[in-house]
Structure 1
């Protein structure tokens, strides 16, 4: 049976909302895509005018559904949060994604990455970051005029749009918020929350034990005919 892919229609032209390709080629690539996307989403949670998406088809040109790309992660400043089946730029006040990330897998070829670079360069991306978790490499490009030029060095680089810092530590990408806190994934956040609850419970129990000890001492003083409140 042929799978029917979701589609959007604009002026009678079909814009598929899926390219039929998987979001990631392996678990490592998927984990990094989610980590970057969710980390940026969290950082921008108080900004209603920042849209963050993962593996969403972006159509920059009205009338030509063959011109499209699905960045692993894209960030659009100036557009509201919310669900979308695809990013039709002409429906978004003509605003392109300003920041995109690509997380490489062994299946990515140089020609593919060059094609993506040229696409992002042509259609208005301001910052483009490429991380290869297998090779432990990080590249970045920033717009200068009509071109995306390589950032040198990337170590310690701060994104002009996002404000986050980039580092490589033993080949692993380290993304840090402006307040110095590192990006964490859901399981790490859940573990931290659990530890915080446990610590709060331990503090509550200690406070309760101190209160009970103080009550016992006060009762003992009263039995001795002393007023604990007057001491």
Structure 2
């Protein structure tokens, strides 16, 4: 009697979706500014992971189910480099906060699909920023679903503690200590001035 062993190929979860991080300089600067300020704010918290443009796989065995949020924040997971965020390897913890930054190439269908994904896989807070108009929209999980935040002006994120405030025609973000989010160039200018 002979036995036949069937070997199956290991499941592959690519670390890249082949898509660009940003379509233009405004979008790229917004992504880097949001990610950098959040990572800087939580730098002393070993249990907060902040990343930008990182593929998130919520379901083991389903590499086709994935998204790469422009910025994601996960409480309860250690800092460190990752090729992708595989939720089953992260104690089953989904990113609690996600930011998306619109580009001119985004379609309504694409934006709706991202919203459905974040809603289905447990994101607690979802923010959508348009760097062209300066407008920001937000959703917060209530009753098991993402529900629109009707008044984003002076909204304070329950998870992050950051404040959203309308300044003129745009929404600006402020750290819990009151400082506005700053770009790398603004931080460099401030450091030089302090010297």
Fold match, TM over 0.5?
yes
Matching residue of 1:19: 17
| Unaligned 5+ runs, structure 1 | 1-10, 198-231
CA RMSD of aligned residues (A): 1.0
Instruction: State the shift of 1:171 in Å.
Output: 2.9
Partner of 1:191: 189
User: Bigger relative contact order, structure 1 or 2, given CA contacts below 8 A and separation 6+?
Assistant: 2
Q: CA deviation at 1:138?
A: 1.1
Aligned match of 1:223: none
Aligned-residue offset at 1:168: 2.6
TM-score w.r.t. structure 2 length?
0.93
- 1:134-145 aligned at under 5 Å gives the runs 134-145=132-143
Listed one character per residue, the Cα deviations across residues 33-75 of structure 1 (whole Å, up to 9, x for unaligned) are 0000001001101101000000000000000000000000000
Q: How far apart are the structure 2 equivalents of 1:120 and 1:145? A: 15
SS at match of 1:82: coil
Equivalent-residue separation in structure 2 for 1:46 and 1:28 (angstroms)? 29
Write the distance in 2 (CA, Å) between the matches of 1:104 and 1:183.
Answer: 18
Whether 1:36 aligns to 2:61 is no
1:195-229 CA-partner distances (Å, limit 9, x unpaired)? 111xxxxxxxxxxxxxxxxxxxxxxxxxxxxxxxx
In structure 2, the partner of 1:59 is 57
* Counterparts of 1:135 and 1:107, CA distance in 2: 15
Moved over 6 A (4+): none
Maintained 8 Å contact 1:122/1:146: no
Equivalents in 1 of 2:169, 2:25: separation in Å?
18
Match of 1:147 in 2: 145
Structure having the larger proportion of residues in helix: 1
5+ residue gaps, structure 2: 1-8
State the distance in 2 between where 1:170 and 1:35 align.
20
Alignment of 1:84-99 (within 5 A): 84-99=82-97
How many residue pairs match? The answer is 187
> TM-score, normalization: structure 1?
0.79
